[in-house]
Structure 1
Amino acid sequence: MDAEQQYHTVLAIAGFDGSGGAGIPADIKTISALGCYATSVLTALPVQNTLGVQALHAIPPEVVVKQLDALLTDIPPQAIKMGMVHTKAIVSALTKRLEAHTKVSLVLDPVMVSSSGHQLMEKSAIQAMITKLFPLTHILTPNLDEASLLAKMPIKTIDDMLQAGQKIKDLGCQSVLLKGGHLKGNTLTTIYFASDGQQHTYSFPKIETPNAHGTGCTLSSAIAAYLARGENELSAITKAQHYVYQALLQGKDVAIGKGKGPLNHFFDPEKTIKRKAESGKQGN
């Protein structure tokens, strides 16, 4: 082993998806496809396939924390992606650990409801996430359903997105990438509310495909991967969206399962990138 080299490491904290389209499997695929090394902490075990979530089994908070401690003391990440944290106890437990790692970029995908309509987050956990995790979050990536809950308003237009995004940012996170995929029309619009107060709007032609399962997981993981590689937030968000668009495009006609299929995460995978080892850190 060459002790002078390490990998760009991204830690994914999320639930599982046995069908491989979302959650930890999608995170690992994305991070790996973008040339980084993926580690993971499991927060929940949904029973699901491409047709939807059939049941949800909790992972005890103390087990979640033990997983996190084991990784943080051995393989320190350059960025963290967090997805499903469905109970107040898990939110509180994770917060206590992550408060000591605020210099590591945290991308939070506030997974609340599955695409099949299954409730994935306790109501008490939502408020705990806002008060405890939002202050630690560098980039929050809600979709319109999640944004409506957080901003306490319906979102049906671009103007609604602009208003809701600012409301959410005022809840305490540093920046917000509001995804507009659920708006009607032929164009997909996302708006980035940056930490410096600027707004950046992105527009892509909508891709007609049933294979969009795990899009949010993939986007947040891609952002974290680019941050781990040293990109600034605006560049990471821009590159991550182009990656997701191509993953959708390249997988749009492939049949996987009987329901909503996954993206093509490995349409153009990069080799794992090596970087110069940090002084005094041989663990990773």
Structure 2
Amino acid sequence: MSDSVLVLSGLDPCGGAGIAADIETINQFGVTPLPIITTLTVQNTQSVKSTQEVDSKLIAEQFNHLKTDVTFSVAKIGLLSSKKQIEVLTNLLSECDDVTIVLDPIVKSTAKDKLLDSQTLEVLKTKLLPLVDVITPNVDELQALSP
């Protein structure tokens, strides 16, 4: 499979954001998305009621198994739920050669529901951000990531 993008993000059941929106966008460019869900959400268009983190071991297993027979040159990262997820993903991506890393640092939902606590945000800033080639924050995310 050529022209593939690894996509790691949360599942927004409304379809307007998260991995569903990423898949749709990537498909429009004729590229194959390789989706790995990081977070399940209970939300509608008005609010996020709750989230459920996907186990980091499962994410690592999916990532490593994909790499055995699928090549990707881009990894697009959205919502990561925990320090553990960020640390595991940082380790996995640091072992990849020639992969462009795009980060959409999801800190709050569109409805302003907080999705990352301050400790998780700090790990994102110190561990993952140095590996990132392209970052696509909105104003709130940019403020959260600024010193």
Q: Same fold (TM over 0.5)?
A: yes
| 1:127 pairs with 2:122 | yes
**Structure 1 residue ranges without an equivalent (≥5):** 1-5, 153-284
Match of 2:72 in 1: 77
Instruction: Tell me by how many angstroms 1:102 deviates.
Output: 4.4
Q: Letter of the 2:69 partner, please give it.
A: D
Structure number with greater Rg is 1
CA distance in 2: counterparts of 1:73 and 1:116, whole angstroms: 39
Counterpart Cα distance in 2 of 1:75 and 1:19: 29
Residue 113 of structure 2: which of 100, 118, 127 is its match? 118
In structure 2, what is the equivalent of residue 87 of structure 1? 82
The CA deviation at 1:38 is 0.8
Q: What's the offset of the Cα at 1:23?
A: 0.6
Cα shift at 1:120: 1.0
Equivalences, count: 147
Identical columns (%): 34
Alpha-carbon separation, structure 2, partners of 1:126 and 1:8:
31
Contact kept in structure 1, 2:86 and 2:123, CA below 8 Å: yes
C-alpha displacement of 1:69: 1.2
Does the Cα contact within 8 Å between 1:86 and 1:112 map onto a contact in 2?
A: no
**How many Å apart are 1:111 and its aligned residue?**
0.4
Structure 2: which amino acid aligns with 1:22?
A: A
Relative to structure 1, is the Cα distance of residues 112 and 102 closer, same or farther in structure 2, using a 3 angstrom cutoff? farther
- C-alpha distance in structure 1 between counterparts of 2:47 and 2:30, whole Å: 30
Equivalent positions of 1:185-264 (< 5 A) are: none
Residue 49 of structure 2 corresponds to 54
Which runs of at least 4 in structure 1 moved beyond 6 Å after TM superposition?
Answer: none
The CA deviation string for residues 87-118 of structure 1, in whole angstroms up to 9 with x for no partner, is 10000011111101142100001100111111
Q: Contact 2:10–2:37 (CA<8 Å) still a contact in 1?
A: yes
Residue 65 of structure 1 deviates from its aligned partner by 1.1
Distance 1:106 1:36, change over 3 A: same
1:1-37 residue CA offsets vs partner (Å, 9 max, x unmatched) = xxxxx43111111110111111111111010011101
User: Which one-letter code corresponds to 1:39 in the other structure?
Assistant: L
- Secondary structure class of the residue paired with 1:93: helix
Cα distance in 1 for partners of 2:131, 2:98 equals: 9
Partner of 1:137: 132
**In 1, Cα distance between equivalents of 2:18 and 2:83:** 19
- Cα offsets for 1:65-91 (capped at 9, x unmatched): 112112122212121100011210000
Instruction: Tell me, yes or no, if structure 1 residue 7 matches structure 2 residue 6.
Output: no
Cross-structure match for 1:103: 98
For structure 2, which runs of at least 5 residues remain unmatched after alignment? none
